[in-house]
Amino acid sequence: MLGLIIGPVGANLAHAGTPRGADAGCDDGTVIDMLVVYTAAARDAAGGTAAIEAKINTAIAQTNASFVNSLIDTSI
């Protein structure tokens, strides 16, 4: 079970001053490095190593396409 702490909305949140939206993004052409890990069970369920790597590459391509479509100059 996750130890989720739920409190009143806006109650002295430490991140309340954190920039949101365009002010928070890295819209400067930054490339975000990712580490993707998976279990043997996930690999097997996907259909093998090549299949899970294809799924990972597809997810990365879709994310990058979303960035382009949103005019966000960032990629993973």
8 A C-beta contact, residue 49 and residue 43: yes
55: buried, middle or exposed (CB in 10 Å: 19+, 13-18, 0-12)?
A: middle
- Give the number of domains in the chain: 1
Q: Give domain status of residue 1, yes or no.
A: no
pLDDT of amino acid 25: 59
Q: Give domain status of residue 51, yes or no.
A: yes
Higher pLDDT, 13 or 62: 62
Q: Give domain status of residue 63, yes or no.
A: yes
Q: Give domain status of residue 75, yes or no.
A: no
Q: Give domain status of residue 34, yes or no.
A: yes
For 6-60, write each residue's pLDDT tens digit: 555 555 555 556 666 556 655 677 899 999 999 999 999 999 999 999 999 999 9
Domain that holds residue 53: 26-69
Q: How confident is the model at residue 1 (pLDDT cuts 50, 70, 90)?
A: very low
pLDDT of amino acid 14: 57
pLDDT of amino acid 42: 97
